[in-house]
Chain A
């Protein structure tokens, strides 16, 4: 099929060879599982179990709160030993509400889980409802609840479902392995999603540095005219939703809009696999494939990991560390975030654990910007990173916003290519965070004003009611004193009193 060329981008050495030939392997259960209730974008799930309760694999641990949220299920059978807070898989090292589960070693699925033989007979809303109940979120790392994206057809005219198998981050091989080993199941999930979205055209897009995955997908899709397999050029950030859609269709998504605005919905192959499991077998999302790699790992591997497994357990299962890593990263090396410790659990959005040596990290001291423009050439969004950063450094965030700060996707191509090693994307991430914090502060100020006004209105109303009651009593007393009959209707007196200032 015809592909369109995106602007900018970089071509980092992919280093996928470390783990790409390692089949997905299951791991023994750890001693404890720490299952966070906030593994997705949106509101944290609300605990539905109590301490000491015994649960089976797939039982509901916490239910979703609101539309943009996702429930959490038991990754194995065992006993709930704690409901509290535990450090999150997040660079801040802050804690989130977490349910701690002690596995009983039997790993028994709940009997209540039933799938359906023919998901294509179900109405689209029912598929989205089952996907929501299974706690499925975007597994490429964004962790946006998948059911919300499956319901987009209610508001947009959709025509194409794109499966984003580009996996453009170096080192990561989990989607590659999943497509290779379980192409039938992935494709089944894809077709179920297409049915839920009501689209007749499916494109499975895979970067050309994964020929085996391309071949597996082509073999699985033979005889299905609605499915196209696209071999993408290997270029970072091809996996960015809007860049991928541009590459395939030649159309740009509107700034700060969705790809659905141009009729395309993008999902990850691991999400498709989870949809297959949920619809065919009734199994909620309780495990995922994680790539454990990096030169500091003794035996890089792709592991099928129950959610909530501590990172330390994964490293142990990959033969341990060959040397002390210079940096531990959750996700890929370009957009991944440093891990605060190896105690933190694997969550729905963890696609990789990287233990990088000092040589791989290649940290250098930043030097002054000479305005060479390398970052401008590398920016896939057509921005001028050096100007954004100059304004951010000078605390002129409004100026940075005028130059398109909010259109930055944070891919890090600018910082990767910068010959002066300036942490460009780090400045931009700070600026975006600061702008969001200001937005929240402004929102709170408006809310405060509203509350204060409501209160003064209430006090005013109470005062007026008191005055009216007093005036009424006075009139009644007067009427009594004059020996006449009191006025007939209280309402009439009330309006009279109100008319007076």
Chain B
């Protein structure tokens, strides 16, 4: 009676210790920075940076393979955040922010094929099969996915118009 109890307890302890040691020494290294950067990225998985999704992009930025300016939908605000996080200095004035763009659907040519709204990472396109689709500009990130998917070519990427409450004075040009 005592022999099997003892042997099983010993076996359990020995294997448990082995597993514990293995977990410590054979751990897969993941940069904690990657997770933090992924938190900052928009998370729409649009692929405009050339990486397959935001987590791959975050890994590349954390490893220093990609520039902090890689994410077009994030714009200048994201560049600034990333630069602060990584301690990289970026000349923000030199970044040509092409300005936010949003998709616009030309209703005359839209056939209601629903291809665009299935691709939209933020559900910014409203529509149903064989019904004209429309974009909710507030939710659109300008990721171009619908633009590429539309078989009718009825989607146009338009710059987001500036409204009166959002307008502000430009930076004065220094005379010296």
Report A's interface with B, CB cutoff 8 A: 38, 88, 90-92, 94, 96, 365-368, 392-393, 395, 423, 426-427, 429-430, 432-434, 436-438, 440-442, 444-445, 447-449, 451-455
Q: Is the CB of A454 within 8 A of B123?
A: yes
> Given known contacts A441-B76, A442-B77, A454-B123, is B164 in contact with A96 (CB within 8 Å)?
yes
The answer to whether A94 and B163 touch across the interface, beta carbons within 8 angstroms, is yes
A91–B168 alpha-carbon span in the complex (Å): 9
Q: Chain A: which residue is nearest B120 at the CB level?
A: A455
CB neighbours of B121 from chain A (8 A): 451-452, 455
- Bound complex: CA A449 to CA B78 (Å): 13
Q: Are A88 and B43 in contact (CB under 8 A)?
A: no
Whether A430 lies near B164 (C-beta < 8 A) is no
Closest 3 pairs between A and B when the two form their complex, measured CB to CB? A433-B168, A451-B122, A441-B77
Q: Which of A395, A429, A437 is close to B93, meaning CB atoms less than 8 Å apart?
A: A395
From A88, A392, A448, residue with most partner B Cβ within 10 Å = A448
| Docked complex Cα distance between A91 and B163 (Å) | 12
Let me know if B77 and A438 touch, CB within 8 A: yes
Determine the chain B residues whose CB is within 8 A of the CB of A453 once the complex forms.
43
Q: Given A366-B175, A395-B93, are A448 and B168 also a contact pair (CB < 8 Å)? A: no
Question: Quick one: which of B44, B170, B172 contacts A448, CB cutoff 8 A?
Answer: B44
- Partner-A contacts on B (CB < 8 A): 42-45, 73-78, 80, 91-93, 100, 121-124, 138-139, 141, 162-172, 174-176
Q: Tell me how many residue pairs across A and B have CB atoms closer than 8 Å.
A: 89
Q: Which of A368, A447, A451 has the most CB of B within 10 A?
A: A451
Q: Which residues of B contact A441 (CB under 8 A)?
A: 75-77, 100
- Output the least CB separation between A425 and chain B (Å): 10
Inter-chain contact A427/B172, CB cutoff 8 Å? yes
Q: Which A residues are CB-close (under 8 A) to B73?
A: 448
Contact partner of B171 (CB less than 8 A), chosen from A88, A365, A427, A436, is A427
Could you list some 14 contacts between A and B, CB below 8 A?
A88-B164, A366-B174, A366-B175, A367-B176, A395-B92, A430-B172, A433-B169, A434-B171, A436-B168, A445-B42, A448-B44, A448-B122, A451-B139, A455-B121
Given contacts A395-B93, A441-B77, contact A455 B122 (CB under 8 A): yes
**Interface centre among B73, B172, B176, by most A CB within 10 Å?**
B172
Chain A residues positioned under 8 Å from B122 (CB to CB) = 448, 451-452, 455
B80: chain A residues at CB < 8 Å are: 438
Tell me which residues across on chain A come within 8 A of B168, comparing CB atoms.
Answer: 429-430, 432-434, 436-437
CB distance from A413 to the nearest CB of B (A): 17
